[in-house]
Amino acid sequence: MLGNIGRAILGLIVVAGVVLVLGNRATAASTSRSGVLPAPVVDDALAASKGEQTAVFAGGCFWGIQAVFQHVKGVKSAISGYAGGTAASPSYEEVSSGSTGHAESVRVVYDPSQVTYGQLLRVFFSVGHDPTQLNRQGPDVGTQYRSAIFYNSESQKRIATAYIAQLTQAKAFGRPIVTEVSQLRGFNVAEAYHQNYATLHPYDPYILINDAPKVANLRRQLADLYIEPAKN
């Protein structure tokens, strides 16, 4: 995500609740489209009993991905962090340099009796990010902002690759899907100030422009999966 200097360069001005985007670097907040992506043909059935499973997704700044999944039915937690790299304990500064190979990612813990892995993928591709942008997402550029799915089981790998193939065959996007599908080798939790950032800073210009619309699109496009998180 951009720092204060980056936001100033983008020329974001918030006046009386209206966001004006100046210059030529206005960005789309999500993969907004007139239609809704189809449900995965290949997916697990809902589990017969409650439990916990984990999924890891990367799609640009983790603030937005975390905010989206915090509003998905059956998700118990969504934690911002780093995955896909080589450094044992990477810091935000190291990941931002692009030298560690990590992507800003979100670890989603969910109840498979309430939501399937395929449904999470549908959220990820529908409103979480634009899977056709290579090594960037909106104003954020670099391999650390790549689109990626980090699977932790053969079932997740099978469902993810099948869904990408399904969307590709259906020509759901105007450009090729570039999402990386890789085995999860580890996940490092990000610094505390990155956690729940969209919730804690709802009027941050970056959040208003890039992330709040994603949550709004989730509520509008996938209402059956949308929830309001419990307030602490």
Give the active site residues.
61
Residue 44: CB atoms within 10 Å: 16
Handedness of CA 142, 26, 208, 2 (dihedral sign): positive
C-alpha–C-alpha distance, residues 135 and 148, integer Å? 10
Locus of tokens 């996007």: 173
Q: How far is CA 105 from CA 8, 128, 206, in A?
A: 25, 12, 18
C-alpha–C-alpha distance, residues 28 and 206, integer Å? 12
Residue 219: which residues within 8 A CB-CB, separation 6 or more?
71, 226
Locus of tokens 């997740």: 156
- The closest of 12, 5, 44 to 26, measured between CA atoms, is 12
C-alpha–C-alpha distance, residues 158 and 161, integer Å? 5
C-alpha–C-alpha distance, residues 210 and 98, integer Å? 22
- The closest of 125, 102, 120 to 173, measured between CA atoms, is 125
C-alpha–C-alpha distance, residues 59 and 1, integer Å? 11
